[in-house]
A and B are shown apart, each in its own frame.
Chain A
Amino acid sequence: MDITTKINGDVAIINLEGRLDLTSANQLKDASREFFSKDNCKLVLNMDKVDFINSSGLGALVSILKEVRNHKGELKISNLAEYVKEIFDITQLSGIFDICEDESHALRSF
């Protein structure tokens, strides 16, 4: 998985590309740790280029969300492909995460 980050004001935007699965789950957690370990962090995970996610990938996202909440921060997920959104829906995680249509919506929603 390719992970790139950019900062927009006080928001960290993490762009993900590729498969979010067992082998990339820790990679994502490691890459985002410096952002979610700060109090009141604001984080956007842009998943526009994620073409596959499985239960391990979802587990990594849940783990990051827990950390963000522990630090009284906010996490938004944006740009979900229809297929990926379906996986959030069937695992009932759509109601847990704040899912935004795109990055600009995510930024405005903080």
Chain B
Amino acid sequence: MLRYTFSFPSTEEAFIISDDIFGRIIDTIDIEVAERQRLKLIVSELYMNAYLHGNKDDASKPIDVSIDVGADRIVTVVKNEGPGLSEKRFKELIEAKADFESDSGRGIRIVHKLSESVKLFRDEMGKFCIESTKKLKKSPMLIKS
């Protein structure tokens, strides 16, 4: 198991840098290109959700990210210090019919569709966490040198 962990301030600069870093890391994982793109999208959506809706661009609040690369799955956890999302609201968002007029919930619906499971919880520090588990079609997974 490989684990990558990061903590970024909630700033636009960090947002841009983080996306590049996640992309480079995911590019080192030897999985098919489409799976890699889906994984990049999951991380991007979770991070953007934490940045825009969780910490609301408050630079004093960090966004913590961990990416665990296992033999048959990749687990991404993104933490923020915002009010979080209730299970009820999460369910409403993912079950909502596509609303052309509204952008609300589109990112979380993408994560839900591309992941095998999505969990919401608070960690021991009280931070709000969203965890995506993405199973890999190819197993065992190799890491490029």
- Listed in ascending order, the chain A residues whose CB lies under 8 Å from chain B are 21-23, 51-52, 54-56, 58-59, 62, 82-83, 86-87, 90-93, 96
A-B contact count (CB 8 A): 55
Q: Are B107 and A55 in contact (CB under 8 A)?
A: yes
Stretch of B1-9, B40-48, B68-76, B122-130 that contacts chain A? B40-48
Distance (Å) between the CB of B25 and the closest chain A CB?
Answer: 15
Cβ 8 A contact of A83, one of B34, B98, B107: B34
What B residues does A82 contact at CB under 8 A? 34
- Listed in ascending order, the chain B residues whose CB lies under 8 Å from chain A are 12, 15-16, 19, 33-34, 37-38, 40-41, 44-45, 48, 97-98, 100, 103, 106-107, 109-110, 113-114
What A residues does B109 contact at CB under 8 A? 90-91
Q: What does DSSP make chain B's interface, helix, strand, loop or mixed?
A: helix
Docked pose: A55 CA to B106 CA in angstroms: 6
Distance (Å) between the CB of B36 and the closest chain A CB?
Answer: 9
Docked pose: A93 CA to B97 CA in angstroms: 11
What A residues does B114 contact at CB under 8 A? 90
What B residues does A56 contact at CB under 8 A? 48, 107
